[in-house]
């Protein structure tokens, strides 16, 4: 036991916990803004206005059709040439997660709203509600219930996507593991613990989502 406590499996943990904090911060903040973008562009994909629909569709297809690794490199290295100032790596990572997740969440929002029976809208209008009031008080609450499981899945996907930010030296979980084995050469031990920490978050999240899905009956 004493030998195990002195092994690289244990010694790497302080480094990894530091990286895990940044992983969770980037994921959480990114998904917060991603949901806002997803709600806006998801509703835009349902709009009868051709301009709004077109802009929303371009955003969704462009972000879903390109790798997030290319997006982070574009934001961190490409945009500064256009904007004339640098973007720090944490901000670039949050922007990348927000934009990327927003595109997928937009489709989640669009699908959830579209899945609500049209009779619900007609019922709202029949009692004197405007279109926006019908959406706010009748359609959206039902649609949001159906969004919860796929939004949870998007959290897991975005969490794992943060590992790609090691290419711009963001101190997330994988990068801290790489830093550790770069000096100790204990790659097997470090990467084993990296994977276990990812699983410690993703597996309970997946199990919880299944429970929520059964409870909501969606």
What are 114's two structure tokens?
A: 């579209």
| pLDDT tens figures, 59-98 | 999 999 999 999 999 999 999 988 888 999 999 999 999 9
pLDDT (average), residues 105-115: 94
Q: What is the mean pLDDT of residues 99-116?
A: 94
Has residue 4 got a pLDDT over 70? no
Instruction: Find the CATH number of the domain harbouring 62.
Output: 1.10.3720.10
- Whether 175 has a pLDDT exceeding 90, the answer reads yes
Please give the share of the chain, as a percent, with pLDDT higher than 70.
96
> Residue 84, by phi and psi: left (phi above 0), alpha (psi -120 to 50) or beta?
left
Mean pLDDT check: name the lowest of 51-55, 63-67, 71-75, 124-128.
124-128
Q: What is the mean pLDDT of the chain?
A: 91
For the chain, the residue count is 218
Residue 127 lies in domain: 2-216
Instruction: Provide the number of structural domains found in the chain.
Output: 1
Per-residue confidence (pLDDT) for residue 161, from 0 to 100: 95
């Amino acid at each position: 036991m004493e030998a195990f406590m002195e092994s690289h499996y244990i010694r790497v943990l302080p480094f990894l916990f530091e990286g895990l904090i940044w992983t969770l911060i980037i994921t959480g903040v990114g998904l917060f803004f991603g949901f806002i973008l997803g709600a806006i562009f998801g509703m835009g994909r349902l709009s009868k206005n051709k301009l709004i629909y077109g802009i929303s569709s371009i955003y969704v297809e462009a972000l879903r059709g390109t790798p997030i690794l290319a997006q982070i490199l574009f934001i961190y290295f490409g945009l500064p040439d256009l904007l004339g100032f640098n973007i720090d790596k944490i901000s670039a990572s949050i922007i990348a997660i927000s934009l990327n997740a927003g595109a997928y969440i937009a489709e989640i929002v669009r699908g959830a709203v579209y899945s609500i029976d049209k009779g619900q809208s007609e019922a709202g209008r029949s009692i004197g509600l405007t279109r926006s009031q019908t959406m706010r008080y009748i359609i959206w609450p039902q649609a949001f219930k159906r969004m919860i499981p796929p939004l949870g899945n998007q959290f897991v996907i975005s969490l794992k996507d943060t590992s790609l930010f090691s290419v711009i030296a963001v101190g997330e979980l994988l990068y801290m593991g790489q830093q550790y084995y770069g000096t100790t050469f204990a790659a097997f031990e470090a990467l084993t613990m990296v994977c276990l920490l990812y699983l410690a978050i993703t597996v309970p999240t997946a199990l919880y989502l299944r429970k929520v899905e059964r409870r909501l009956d969606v």
